[in-house]
Copies of this chain bind each other. A is one copy, B any other.
Amino acid sequence: MTTYRQFVLASRPQGEVVPSNFRMETVQAPALKDGEVLVRNHYLSLDPYMRMRMEDVKSYSAPQALDAVMVGGTAGEVVESRNPKFSTGDKVVGYLGWAEMGVSTGAGLNKVDTTHIPLSAYLGAVGMPGMTAWYGLTQIMQPKPGETIVVSAASGAVGSVVGQLAKQRGCRAVGIAGGPEKCAYVVNELGFDACIDYKAGNLAADLAAATPDGIDALFENVGGAIFDECLARMNPFGRIALCGLIAGYEGEPMVLKNVRNFLTMRLTMRGFIVSEHPDLWPQGLKELGALVAGGKLKFRESVAQGLPAAPEAFIGLLKGRNFGKQVVKLV
């Protein structure tokens, strides 16, 4: 019998996530039924949304169940198939969770072509994070050439794509990231016009200097003080794509003070979850895939080695210790 390891949610976090919130188990791969495929996961994607799922609160999806395999996007290879649509050796992406292997009926499992695009990129720039960036930019921010866009968590899996897509559309792209190394990467490698180190302690002044004409559109990943400072610089009729509030995911108060600017600047803000817009994925992934294959959309990965490293890597992601897309390499 084939066995593999997986993580289940052992307990819900009280404030910050701790390793003991997860429990690793070794399980047997079941015999496949008709229509099923067995996948060996090569990469597990770690994403901020998982933090919200760990809580038992009303949100956009049901909470992660206790003692069930942690939710998560995966990229891997079919090792056994009783489904005519999949063959052994097919590279596939899906949501098989924090696990070295998984069984799928084929629903939600998609074959991918790794000829010109590395497998792990289907968890990042050509996957959910890339689509998140593409959706927020094209459907909510709708920037015009010459406008200034700002994106927080700019070196991350989503933010890095937002800025690069905006540059390709003729915008001034300004990032916000934590630390000089990330900021240098955002400007020098990703090609943003500027990047502000929010840890440097001069957020308001640095943001003002980097956005002399104000902010026309904002992609918000963080919340808290960073969001508030951006609000204060929004131009009339500005658009805000609200994608994440990672600064508040560990229970910190998530308060906004510059609320009046929503009114005085006649801003539009929309919170969104990209998985609710499947109709646009083919269009977005086509653009993202072509850009990555052509070397015109750059990305960077933080790679943790082996499934046992997943909890610490996830905790690091919540603290901003990752640099680019956080994945766990499983084989």
Contact = CB atoms under 8 A, between A and B. Distances in A.
A248 B255 contact: no
A236 interface: yes
B272 A245 contact: no
A273 interface: yes
Contacts of A296: none
Interface in A240-294: 242-245, 248, 253-257, 259-260, 262-273, 276
Nearest to A269: B269
A3 interface: no
B236 A262 contact: no
A263 B245 contact: yes
Interface stretch (A52-60, A69-77, A80-88, A192-200): A52-60
Nearest to A58: B264
A264 B223 contact: no
Nearest to A248: B260
B268 A268 contact: yes
A33 B280 CA distance: 60
Contact of A260 (B254, B259, B264, B272): B254
A266 B257 contact: no
A309 to B, nearest CB: 29
> Which among A59, A242, A271 has the greatest number of chain B C-beta atoms within 10 A?
A271
Contacts of A265: 60, 271
Contacts of A60: 236, 263-266
B270 A267 contact: yes
A271 B276 contact: no
A245 to B, nearest CB: 6
Given A248-B260, A254-B257, 10 more contacts: A60-B236, A60-B266, A245-B260, A245-B263, A248-B259, A253-B257, A256-B256, A264-B271, A266-B276, A268-B271
12 contacts: A59-B264, A60-B265, A223-B259, A227-B259, A248-B259, A255-B257, A262-B269, A264-B271, A265-B271, A267-B269, A268-B269, A269-B269
